[in-house]
Structures are given as structure tokens and as C-alpha cells.
Structure 1
């Protein structure tokens, strides 16, 4: 009798083991592996470091009697600015950098030489010469205070940038053709090598209005034929473009 029951118990034990194995197998298949998402870091320390390029119309202010400008006097400048935010939202910053400028002036302030070779500066009527122009080349160091409503997600924003610009004129040249003689004066010693002024740039995204006003006179210890001091200062007005 005992021998006949043993196979039955063995079969029951076998079926019980198979059932448990199948149960755990199904249970384990229902478990899902969690999906690993990449971590996206928000740049909370972004800067508005920028290359800039400007195109301006150049004007003289504080001019002596009779001085007038002719044609389009163009100015070009470009450089790089390093942005240094000073508030948590990074909407207020200080920036400085370095750049180069080319300034061209067409006017009737003539520069020639007398019989002894000394330089002569005078305000001359336009019908007394064929062409007269003055060019200068400068290294610029701007220092500006910045406000903008930018974020780390967008490069399109409103801005108001203003500051001071210090410039060193490393070269200048004037050319006067009076119909008989052409005077080419290079590196006129009476022109101020160090120049400085204030400026403002405001606009949206890439396009911005730019105005610069020179604070020191362009010429030093120069008088016209009439004995009037040449204390002209410069104004540059045009567009400035910022490129990240």
C-alpha cells in the first residue's frame, strides 16, 4: 500500500514545482526596466560675449566758422567684447574688449605746407580745391554698462548698452588737391593720438542704433587762417551689429 502512494506524492510534488516556476517566470516578465533619460543641464552661467561691427556717418562738432562737410564721411569699426554679468538673472553686465576703427572725413578744413615746410591749417572755400579728405586709424578699448532682457534659451532680445571708448590713433593721413599741388600729410603731429568719448547702442537682436560723441578735441594747438582755434570734436552715428 505504501509503495502505491509514493508515485502519486512524487507527481504532486513535481507539478507543484512546475507551477511555482511558471508563476515566478510570469511575474518576472511583468516587471519593467526603468527608462534612463539623459540629464539636460541648464546653462545658468551664460555670457553675451560678442563680436561687433559698426557702420557710421562721421560728423564734426564745435567747428570753426565756415567749416563744412562734403560727401558721405564713413566710419567702420569692429572688435570683440567680453561679457561679465553682475546680477543673478544675468541681465545686467559690464563688458570690455578691443577693436579697430577706420574714420574718413570729407570737409573743407585743409592741411597744406608753406614755403618752409611748416603745416598750415585753414578753412578753405570748396571752389578753391579739387578734393580734400582726412583719414584716421585707431585701436579702440570700449568699457560699457549693459542691460538686456536675454535668457539662456534665446539670442534675440532688447538691449541698451552704453559706456566710454578709449582710442589710440596709430596712423592718420590727409590729402589735399588744390588743382596745382597735391599735399599728402601722414601722421600729423597736431592731431591728438589719444581720443576718448561716450557712446550708446540700443536695439533688438542683431540690428542696433549706435551714437558716439568724442569728448576731447581732434586737433591740438591748431588755429585757422583767421586765427580761430580748431577745437573740432567728432560724432559717429549709424548702426552696430552684434554677433555671438
Structure 2
């Protein structure tokens, strides 16, 4: 009877030990294989830099972004890595830089005269974008609230670009071929959990090279974007 009891006790101990090791192994594997793949959505303010002299902005020039980023960790803890993504971007810039088009299809640019009344003058651009970023965070597989710093470069391909002028009496809109098809910039996002600050500076000009105002001033504006970006697991 004692031997039988001892065998049962040892068997129970071994079974419990194996189960415990199995549970531990599952946790380790989960820690070593999780990814921070994320959808993102953001809203930013567009600030026009390096614009021609006397050109100012009006209304709220905005940039809306949405997309997905694939996480590529490079260390065992999986808190450092890279991210590759794809998404869409919509940008509007309200300013007093007027783009006009003559009957021959030639486009020219000038400051809107002070005595000219209008409701809005806008440059609107839609892009497909491809961010490539370096990522740091203090996350864990079972913790979705953490600090992050993501920084990288973003390439954007123009889907459509329009110039639009609206007054009380008419609306003038046309596709603007002077907008640069491929644009790129550097960006940084940092924050905690869902809420994160976002900033991007475009290294490429908004327009193609060798574009000038009617006064002969080079047209080489760039955009600085600042706002919020939200990450959704």
C-alpha cells in the first residue's frame, strides 16, 4: 500500500511539473513571437515653408493620413525594430498663392491682389504613401499601454493634385501637372498608448523643378506637418 501511494505521489508530481513547464514554454514562445503590427490614423496642420515672399496661409491647411505598418523586431525582447507600411494621405494648403491657367494650358503663379475678394484658394493633393521607420518601445506581449518613439522616412506618390479658387460668383478648378509626382520627407512620432505626437518635414519641393512666379521668383515651397497620430493594434 505504501509503495503504491508513493508511485501515485511521484506520478502526480511529474505530471504537474510537465504541465507547469508546458505553460512556461507557451508564455516564452508568446513573448518571443509577438508583433506590434498597427493601423494608424492621423491629423496634422500643414505649414508652408520656403514659400515665395509675401505669400501667406489662410484657413486650416490640413493633412490626413491612414494606413498600416508591419512590425519587424530585431532583438529578443522585441522592443527595437523596423516598420514597413503603406497608406493614403490627403493634404490641402490654403494660401494666397494663386495658380491660374490661360487658354493655351499654361499655368502661372502669383500672389492674390489685396483688392481681390475670394472665399478660398486651395492646393489639394492625394497620395499613396510608404513609410519606413526605426522603432523603439517598452512594450510587452500582454501590455498594450507603453511609450514609443518611431522615426523614419516616408515616400509619397501623387494620385491627384488640383488647384482650386472659389469666390462668391465662380469656382475655378483644374488638375495641376506642376505638382511633383514623387515626394519624400522625414518624420518622428512619440507618445504613450494610443495618443502620439507626429511631425514631418518634406525634403522635396511641392512643385517640379524650374517653376517660377510671374515676378520671376523660384517656386520651391516645402511642407512641415505637425499634429497627432493614433495607433490601433
Shorter-chain TM-score tier:
0.7 to 0.9
Secondary structure of residue in 1 paired with 2:33? coil
Secondary structure of residue in 2 paired with 1:76? strand
Structure-1 separation of matches of 2:199 and 2:132: 15
Structure-2 separation of matches of 1:92 and 1:212: 21
- Contact 1:219–1:231 (CA under 8 A) maintained in structure 2: yes
> Following TM superposition, by how much is the alpha carbon of 1:177 offset from its aligned partner in structure 2, in angstroms?
2.9
- Contact 1:129–1:176 (CA under 8 A) maintained in structure 2: no
> Following TM superposition, by how much is the alpha carbon of 1:27 offset from its aligned partner in structure 2, in angstroms?
8.6
Note if 1:201 corresponds to 2:192.
Answer: no
Matching residue within 214, 221, 225 for 1:225? 214
Matching residue within 132, 138, 142 for 1:149? 138
Matching residue within 201, 205, 208 for 1:213? 201
Matching residue within 98, 101, 107 for 1:113? 101
RMSD (CA atoms): 2.0
Moved more, 124-133 or 104-113: 124-133
Structure-1 separation of matches of 2:72 and 2:103: 56
- Contact 2:161–2:177 (CA under 8 A) maintained in structure 1: no
How many residues align? The count is 219
> Following TM superposition, by how much is the alpha carbon of 1:174 offset from its aligned partner in structure 2, in angstroms?
1.6
Secondary structure of residue in 1 paired with 2:198? strand
- Contact 2:184–2:202 (CA under 8 A) maintained in structure 1: yes
Structure-1 separation of matches of 2:49 and 2:137: 31
Structure-1 separation of matches of 2:35 and 2:138: 13
Note if 1:162 corresponds to 2:151.
Answer: yes
Structure-1 separation of matches of 2:105 and 2:35: 54
- Contact 1:145–1:162 (CA under 8 A) maintained in structure 2: yes
Structure having the higher Rg: 1
- Contact 1:113–1:183 (CA under 8 A) maintained in structure 2: no
- Contact 2:68–2:86 (CA under 8 A) maintained in structure 1: yes
Unaligned 5+ runs, structure 2: none
Equivalent runs, 1:169-180 vs 2, <5 Å: 169-178=158-167
Matching residue within 207, 223, 226 for 1:234? 223
Secondary structure of residue in 2 paired with 1:93? strand
Once the two structures are superposed, residues 5-60 of structure 1 have per-residue CA deviations (whole angstroms, 9 ceiling, x without a partner) of xxxxxxxxxxxxxxxxxxx5x99689567375574311121111111111111111
- Contact 1:108–1:126 (CA under 8 A) maintained in structure 2: no
Matching residue within 152, 166, 180 for 1:192? 180
> Following TM superposition, by how much is the alpha carbon of 1:222 offset from its aligned partner in structure 2, in angstroms?
1.8
Structure-2 separation of matches of 1:117 and 1:85: 51
Structure-1 separation of matches of 2:198 and 2:87: 15
Structure-2 separation of matches of 1:143 and 1:105: 25
